[in-house]
Amino acid sequence: MKPHHDSPATPVAPPMGKAAFFDIDGTLISTNVVHAYGYYAMNEGSALGILGRTLKTAASLPLFGTLDLIDRKIFNEFFYRSYEGLTEDRLLTLCEDMFEDVIQPAIFSKAQDLIDEARRAGCRVVLVTGALDFTMRPLARHFGADDLIANKMQFVSGRAPGKVIPPIIEGANKSNVIREYCEKHGISLMKSHAYSDSASDYAMLTVVGRPTAVNPDLRLRALARSYNWPILNVR
């Protein structure tokens, strides 16, 4: 009589976690990447250099606005050229002051409540932004976020050449980095949340199972209504 062998048990996959992915500019704070650069430009270098960067930035504002409306990726590539020549040490020092002077006063009154709600729901809190990582690290600490996905500035011999390390974190590409993040950390996309104020983040919102429009622009408000997404105002 042949010995009886139990068939091997089918391995049970561990339950997948969930995350809440938050855009920052316009969603959690009222400032944007241009305000951050303006602070750096006016506080780094010689008086003549500061004046030159300030005037150049002011002259470029209409172009920045147009590019942002047309293509967020092109806007980022063009905008970050403004950082050319700024020193890494000074930028890392200024980012803490800039948080206190510019970003913290611009945090929307109910932004922390929104993040706390996601935490109570068992979500990992992840900030996803086209801003620079060193600029947003103090804000991530302030909110108690678990992770920050942001653009990283290139530095050569301690100075910025005006380029970010690819891939650029921007509207359409945010969905790719969110998908990769979930795969890496064993997080379910369908159980996860995403929050944004802009229609440029449409891909980011649709890649998760639970999108929410926060302080939405006109295009995103229309999309949210057509898809029956929740609409929140945290100002």
Does 121 or 40 have the greater pLDDT score?
A: 121
Q: How confident is the model at residue 67 (pLDDT cuts 50, 70, 90)?
A: very low
Q: What is the pLDDT of residues 5-58, one digit of tens each?
A: 555 555 555 668 999 999 999 999 999 888 888 888 778 654 444 445 554 555
The pLDDT, as a whole number, for residue 115 is 97
Spell out a b/e string for 90-101, using b for 16 or more CB atoms within 10 Å of the CB, else e: ebeebbeebbee
Q: What is the pLDDT of residues 169-215, one digit of tens each?
A: 987 899 999 999 999 999 999 999 999 999 999 999 999 999 999 99
Query: C-alpha distances in angstroms, 2 versus 5, 7, 9, 160?
Result: 9, 14, 21, 73
Average pLDDT, the chain: 86
Task: Return the percentage of the chain with pLDDT > 90, whole number.
Answer: 65
The pLDDT, as a whole number, for residue 10 is 56
Q: Which of 146, 150, 143 is nearest to 110 (CA)?
A: 143
Q: Which residue has the tokens 């967020």?
A: 72
Question: Given a cut of 70, is residue 118 above it in pLDDT?
Answer: yes
Q: Which residue has the tokens 């049970």?
A: 12
Least confident of 49-58, 94-103, 216-225: 49-58
The pLDDT, as a whole number, for residue 48 is 44
Query: C-alpha distances in angstroms, 217 versus 3, 10, 13, 52?
Result: 70, 49, 40, 33
Q: Which residues fall within 8 angstroms of residue 162, CB to CB, at 6 or more apart?
A: 80, 81, 82, 83, 84, 85
Q: Does domain 19-232 have CATH number 3.40.50.2300?
A: no
**DSSP labels for 110-161?**
THHHHHHHHHHTTPEEEEEEEEEHHHHHHHHHHHT-SEEEEE-B--BTTB--
Strand-pairing partners, residue 226, are: none
